[in-house]
Amino acid sequence: MKKAYHYLGITVFTMIVVGCQRSSYHNKSYTKSAAQEAENNQVKTTWEEGKRKMESPETFWDAKTSFESALSQSPLDPLATLYIEITKIWPILMGLPLRLSHLIGEEIVQEGLEKKLKEYEANPPLQALVRSLLYGGNPTFFKSVHEVQIFVESEVLPALQKAQAALAQVETQKFLIELRTDQWHRKETRESKLFLDPTDVHGLRMYLYGLETISHLFLAYDLDFLLPFRTQFEKPESRSYQTILSEIKKYPSALTLRKNGKEHFQALLKDVQATLEGQRTLAKALYEGGKREDFVLTNPFYNFQGFSDWMHGLNHIEDVIAGPYLLKLSDAQAVMLNVPHLLHTPPKDLKQLFPTQFSNDGQKVKATSFPDPTFAGLIPDGDFIEKYCSVPNDVREIRLSIQCGEGEEKELNNDTLKNLQEKQ
Amino acid sequence: MKIIFLSGLIFTFGFSQGFAENSYAKRVRTTHVFQNGIQVKWEVPEIALSSSIFQQAKNPKIQIRLPHHHDDIFIHAQTLYVDFEREELILKGNVVARFGHHIVETQFLHLEFKDPFMRTSDPFVFKQKGRTFKGKGLLVDLKTKQVHLLYVQNQKQAHLVIPWKEKT
């Protein structure tokens, strides 16, 4: 009996403790939820206001204050973060084609901009927004490639990296936002919607990473020699390996590693997955966007073949960044490529790797004239030229402008075929 | 006191069972057969991002079955990234891959199934019976069953080829 009272006492005590906890929990949650609800309603109103403004090109910029206010209450809101990050990059890119016109060619740029703007005549608010992107912003022109590199390094790259960091936090959330896009078309559209989810944010982040990758490549070496080359080698008949390489050699700083060049190359290896996917996302977005009539930018791919070739080349580049790569020269021959080594320890002067002897017409490079058979560590076994020349021209998987012997290229004959089969 | 102890034990056991079942239910198992017949199974606690083109997951356990091959490849890592379109897997963070008599430890591993390769450009440790290699850059050719190791010796790059030794 005593024991029964004992257990009863324990049970009652436990119930009281649990009951107290539950009641205090309810009271607390009740008072908290009332205040929170009012706060949430306010955030929701400013968020919806921002979303509404964002859906029209006329009020696009006005959405900033609403989203900033929404973000102060809910710091990782997906749509508000997305808007704020995009609008941070926008002013940096404003007027960029115009600023580059001294380097690209004034007439080409002017003509292109006018043509682009005319395409938006049917939608004046969107045209005004496109005009601000093409003609607005900083009016100073770039006079050299070096100036563009400084601009990309100091303004574009940090903005891209900040935006990516913010989007990386957003893409881990679960959300589905419906956005109306009717007013964003070049021509009148009945109804158009966009469903935004974490995968879209991830896609956008990869797009930005693609841009960052290209920026890193552009920033590694001194490219100032390109400007005089634009006019010098305009005519195709003036171009040969001999003339181009010997002209580059006249500029001592040409293709020398810039101050932070090594860091830029190494950045490509920091997140290989993002580098690979970023490049593909960027190319796909440009191609898919280019197919649409209302695409804001100029389509760099004129047809599917162009896009396909680009992706094919890109896949090769991506593959070699991912790790050591076995480059097939023929069915029987392959060489080991180690591009990551080159990215980790890039040569200080690429001119040092240039071949020194050429064929009589200057269109081919003599196989024996490469100063470094490892190509700065790219070919760890230093056997590329030797293996390339051992493969008859007819069965080569890749063909380069390399002259193996003094005379013509090796022709496929029974002896070489037999040798190949024996090696296999 | 015995009753309290016993009920406590039952409660603890029941709770842990429920917890285990719950976490077990949360694990997602996927099997995917790539075009050239390579079968990949992965088990993950949660899928972070997923679309028809790619999938991203945390703490995966992966088993890869190669056609006409006795040994499976077993891998675990911190993050798995599957690209269905390109037929690729990317593994990041404390990656450990076991195949045949070999173990590879690295921070990044890229698996490509169209032209089957497993590779890394990161520093790696390659272990096989009684031997350990450390280097930077490794490639396992799943077609020729060869392991290519890249490392630095006397300030020069070196390339070593080791045949894949099967367990069976």
Q: What is the pLDDT of residues A329-347, one digit of tens each?
A: 998 899 999 998 888 889 9
Assigned token pair, A4: 């029964």
Assigned token pair, B43: 């088990």
Q: What is the pLDDT of residue A110?
A: 87
Whether residue A327 is predicted with pLDDT greater than 50 in this model: the reply is yes
Strands A402-403 and A365-366: parallel
Is residue B140 one of the residues assigned to a domain? yes
Whether residue A142 is predicted with pLDDT greater than 50 in this model: the reply is yes
Is residue B6 one of the residues assigned to a domain? no
Output the CA–CA distances (angstroms, integers) from residue A173 to A76, A95, A167, B52, B78, in the order listed: 9, 35, 10, 19, 19
Is residue B18 one of the residues assigned to a domain? no
β-bridge partners, B106: B95, B124
Whether residue A112 is predicted with pLDDT greater than 60 in this model: the reply is yes
**% of chain A with per-residue pLDDT over 90:** 31
The total domain count for chain B is 1
Whether residue A319 is predicted with pLDDT greater than 60 in this model: the reply is yes
Across the range B67-72, mean pLDDT stands at 82
Assigned token pair, A352: 């040092």
Assigned token pair, A119: 């395409």
Assigned token pair, B64: 């890869």
Q: What is the pLDDT of residue B138?
A: 95
Rounded to 5°, the CA angle A69-A71-A76 comes to 170
Measure the CA–CA gap between A185 and A295, rounded to whole angstroms: 9
What are the chain A neighbours of B108 within 8 Å (beta carbons)?
A: 272-273
Q: Show the domain range for B154.
A: 28-163
What are the chain B neighbours of A321 within 8 Å (beta carbons)?
A: 121
Measure the CA–CA gap between B77 and B59, rounded to whole angstroms: 6
Nearest-Cα residue of chain A relative to residue B110: A322
> Is B102:B165 a contact under the CB 8 Å cutoff?
yes
Q: What is the pLDDT of residue B99?
A: 92
**Which range has the worst mean pLDDT, A211-215, A263-267, A358-362?**
A358-362
What are the chain A neighbours of B86 within 8 Å (beta carbons)?
A: 280, 315
Is residue B4 one of the residues assigned to a domain? no
Helix A106-118 to helix A124-135 angle, to the nearest 10 degrees? 160
For the segment A145-160, what is each residue's pLDDT rounded down to a tens digit? 999 999 999 999 999 9
Q: What is the pLDDT of residue A423?
A: 52
Whether residue A72 is predicted with pLDDT greater than 80 in this model: the reply is yes
The pLDDT confidence band at residue A264, using thresholds 50, 70 and 90, is very high
Is residue B19 one of the residues assigned to a domain? no
Whether residue A2 is predicted with pLDDT greater than 70 in this model: the reply is no
Is residue B7 one of the residues assigned to a domain? no
Question: Where is B134: in which H helix or E strand?
Answer: strand B131-141
3-class secondary structure, B37 = coil
What CATH number does residue B93 fall under? Answer: 2.60.450.10
Whether residue A3 is predicted with pLDDT greater than 50 in this model: the reply is no
Higher pLDDT, B100 or A273: B100
For the segment B137-162, what is each residue's pLDDT rounded down to a tens digit? 999 998 888 999 998 888 788 899 99
Output the CA–CA distances (angstroms, integers) from residue A361 to A3, A34, A295, B98, in the order listed: 109, 85, 45, 54
Across the range A185-203, mean pLDDT stands at 83
Q: What is the pLDDT of residue B8?
A: 52
The chain-wide mean pLDDT, for chain A, equals 81
For the segment B81-123, what is each residue's pLDDT rounded down to a tens digit? 998 988 999 999 999 999 988 999 999 999 999 889 999 999 9
Interface residues of chain B, partner chain A, Cβ below 8 Å = 3-4, 48-51, 54, 56, 81, 83, 86, 90, 92, 108, 110, 112, 117, 119-121, 136-139, 141, 148, 150, 157-159
Q: What is the pLDDT of residue A314?
A: 80
For the segment B15-57, what is each residue's pLDDT rounded down to a tens digit? 444 444 344 445 788 899 988 889 999 999 888 888 888 899 9
Is residue B67 one of the residues assigned to a domain? yes
How many CA atoms, within 13 angstroms, populate the side-chain half-sphere of residue A213?
A: 27
**Which range has the worst mean pLDDT, A12-26, A193-207, B42-56?**
A12-26
Which of B121, B153, B160 is the best residue to mutate to test the A interface, defined by the most A CB atoms within 10 Å of its own CB? B121
Whether residue A372 is predicted with pLDDT greater than 50 in this model: the reply is yes
CA neighbor of A199 nearest in space, from B55, B6, B146, B128: B55
Yes or no, beta carbons of A324 and B83 under 8 Å apart = no
> Is B56:B49 a contact under the CB 8 Å cutoff?
yes
